Amino acid sequence: MPAHDTISDMLTRIRNACAVRHSTVNIPSTRMTRSIAEVLKSEGFITSYEEIGEGVKKNIVVSLKYKGRNRKPIIQNIRRVSTPGLRVYSKKKDLPRVLGGIGVAIVSTSHGIMTDREARKQNIGGEVLCYIW
């Protein structure tokens, strides 16, 4: 699988796993997917993640988070913004607010992958990877 498809693959796997209420989901491990999983964990969208396997065949096992007796997914929607065919970049002052600040935009900056709030705090822009709410 080409490296530029890993983000779309990760988001699709998480979206599908939430739809059928799986407790965990396996995602091929790259530096980008590890960084996104770290942001999701720090923002409280997932419980945890763990890297398993060795060498090239590493996977990340993401533990999804649900609330209530009906197990309503914490991740209600996850949408890819920047694609390999159309990259979307934002300056620090133009960083998007997802649902007025309720959601999170994940941004790839020169200082690593972070949320839109962290990027605003550090006064840096970057490529908007996805929206999560």
Name the pairing type of β-strands 104-109 and 112-115. Answer: antiparallel
SS3 33: helix
What integer pLDDT is reported at residue 4 of this predicted model?
52
What integer pLDDT is reported at residue 11 of this predicted model?
94
What integer pLDDT is reported at residue 6 of this predicted model?
84
What integer pLDDT is reported at residue 1 of this predicted model?
41
Q: Which segments of the chain have a pLDDT < 70?
A: 1-4
Is the pTM of the predicted complex or chain greater than 0.85? yes
Residue ranges per structural domain of the chain:
3-132
What CATH number is given for 3-132 in this structure? 3.30.1490.10
Structure tokens at 7: 């983000």
Written as one letter, the residue type at 87 is: R
